[in-house]
Amino acid sequence: MRPNLLVLTDASPAAVQARAYAAVLAAPLGAEVHLLHMSPVPPMTARVGEVMHATNARNLLRERHALEAVAAAMPVPATATTVAQPWDEALEEALARHQPLLMVAGLTATDGLLDEWLSNRALPLAHQTGYPLLLVPQHLPVAALRPPRCLALAVRDHAFALTPQALALGPLLAALDAAVVPTTVAPTDEPNAGHAGLTAAQECGLTPALAGSTLHRVVAAEPAAGLQQAVKELSADVLVLLDPGHGWISKLFGGSVIDEVLRQAQVPVLVLPTAAAAAVAEAPSFAAAAGYANTVISGLLPAS
């Protein structure tokens, strides 16, 4: 299967940025970009449904033609799919069909949880699907639309293991020749914290270079602000966050560092899903991860 990126798209300005950044990533990899627009299916009574059926069909056809035109204009091979079915069903089918290296979505600036839920429905997808998710800010400068050279990998002071799909990004990062720098925000009362996170990063198998990496540490009271500082200090093109999973209930009762970082994001944010805590002790080696990854992205290499 040819390597590909799955872009969750709509008519928002953030989606335009997501498509542009996906094309930038796909070009050096020879990868395809699959655009997926999931047209909402509003609940309605049988009578209203009969009246609206023809109108919805026309709207869907118009959306499909518009997205096909967008795909045809992209600078890399691209396909367009517009479906009218529940979000979770459409996404599950697309992931099974394409097995993408990466999901890409726009990150719309929001104000409050309800606005976030309505505008950024892709946020929990990394944890829900096991696939890595790249979120591209709505206001990303044009100058930032380039292949990343440095990624700041945010780690906490404890062990973690990545999902197989997240580990499959390793060869992609190697093809981009991008450095991955373990980064932590240490609280002011523990300025030397982060050793456990660094060890986990060195052993996680994402890239071979991580095995000999050092820790970039920022001492700050607030993790989100500290990570933004680290991005500036490293001149990082992408901020990488580990997602152990945060449902909407937990958001309502306290939120998370991820949520706060996303609200302040000035660079694309790559969310890597982590495996279940029980799997940490059995985290796959780089060789095992590379075997899975090479199967997925074998299309990157020319036939011998």
Helix (H, G, I), strand (E, B) or coil at 125: helix
Two tokens at 81? Answer: 């799919």
- Cα–Cα dist 103/292, whole Å: 18
- Cα–Cα dist 107/265, whole Å: 9
Give the position of tokens 């395809």: 32
**What is the per-residue pLDDT across 56-71, written as a single tens digit (0 to 9) for each?**
678 888 999 999 999 9
Alpha helices, DSSP H only, in 74-159?
87-98, 113-119, 125-129
Domain containing 254 — which CATH number? 3.40.50.12370
Q: Which domain holds residue 39?
A: 4-300
Arithmetic mean of pLDDT, 256-268: 81
Give the position of tokens 């993790």: 223
H or E element that contains 19: helix 13-26
Report the Cα 259 to chain-centroid distance in Å. Answer: 14
- Cα–Cα dist 198/216, whole Å: 9
Total residues found in the chain within this entry: 304
Two tokens at 262? Answer: 């996303």
- Cα–Cα dist 76/61, whole Å: 24
Residue 41: pLDDT band by 50, 70, 90 thresholds?
A: low
H or E element that contains 105: strand 102-107
Arithmetic mean of pLDDT, 266-279: 79
Report the Cα 285 to chain-centroid distance in Å. Answer: 23
Instruction: Give the predicted TM-score (pTM) of the model.
Output: 0.83
The per-residue pLDDT for 281 is 36
Alpha helices, DSSP H only, in 74-210?
87-98, 113-119, 125-129, 164-167, 169-176, 195-203
How many domains is the chain partitioned into structurally? 1
Of 43 and 292, which is predicted with more confidence? 43
Closest residue by Cα to residue 136 from 101, 106, 102, 103: 106
